[in-house]
Amino acid sequence: MAVPTIAWKDGIIRIIDQTRLPGEIVFLDIASLETLCEAIRSLRVRGAPAIGVAGALGVALAAYHFQGDSRPGLDRTIREAASALNATRPTAVNLPWALGRMTRVLDADPGGAVPDMRERLIREALDMLAEDDAVCRRIGAHGLSLIPDSAVILTHCNAGGLATSGYGTALGVIYAAHEAGKTVRVFADETRPLLQGARLTAWELRESGIPVTVLCDSAAAVLMRKGVIDCVIVGADRIAANGDTANKVGTCGLAVIAKACGVPFYVAAPVSTVDFSIPDGEGIPIEERDGSEIAEGFGVRTVPEGVPLFNPAFDVTPH
């Protein structure tokens, strides 16, 4: 991605408003915790690694704007900020992971002076921002050997630069193959109901010069049964200790089809996405979003009034 998904400068968090893509590139400058929480809930910034980094920067924002020299006051402000951010979205474990890392800065030096602690909190968040890019590039390098030349790859949702600090997990593998001189072609599921594949993945890949074709989610089986797809690569929002994986709803169905058709199925994710406290997928909390995303997600009602709606944002693919 040529445009960073998330950046920090002088107490301002700048993000791309992903709800406006692909029609226009709009940057939002966020100066308050409340605005950041709303941006995460409304998917203006989204993707497990990206919201982890955003959460860390949100804590840094609270530290940056803290006034006074009371260490208990700073600690209270930071922990309240972390709690508010942690409540925004329940499934992606990168968010509590990043927030825990920020609060441990306080725990590591309970007697530290306020100016020093503010600086250390901001530095920790910026370290996470840089680390995310480096980790995604390592994921790409590790996955490179899995991608044959002239590969045709199917992906679901968006696990690219927009879902991270700017490079990507699943798409990071594709970018690495492209940068290594391999010819790749991508089929991107549209990803109902909010069309992250059609709106975001297709936009990213086109901007990067990688051929991409968008298909309805329900058409993936057609391609796999015909032998068109060489492999499926997806990201993850939370991985249980046994390898069960929560990702955008529809992923489990793709995995079942891929197995039936003998198509390799890969999950690309950083260690921060693994939740070792949860033994298996049964313990992963699944976010359910408002049914209006199904019935009238883009301004046109497509479901009769009064019909019940079921809108889980994620599903779990058994290992």
Q: Which residues are catalytic?
A: 237
Query: What tokens does 137 get?
Result: 């590039």
Could you report how far apart the first and last alpha carbons of the chain are, in Å?
Answer: 30
Closest CA to 180 of 125, 213, 140, 122: 140
Contact 266, 139 (CB under 8 A): no
What amino acid occupies position 165? S
Strand order in the sheet with 274-275: 274-275, 238-240, 245-248, 314-317
Give the sign of the dihedral formed by CA 108, CA 109, CA 114, CA 115. negative
Q: Please enumerate in sequence order all residues whose Cβ is within 8 A of that of 57, keeping only pairs 6 or more positions apart, or say none.
A: 6, 8, 13, 36, 125, 129
DSSP state of 172: H
Q: How far is it, in rounded angstroms, from Cα 285 to Cα 33?
A: 24
Q: How far is it, in rounded angstroms, from Cα 237 to Cα 170?
A: 12
CA 197, 202, 203 angle in degrees (round to 5)?
120
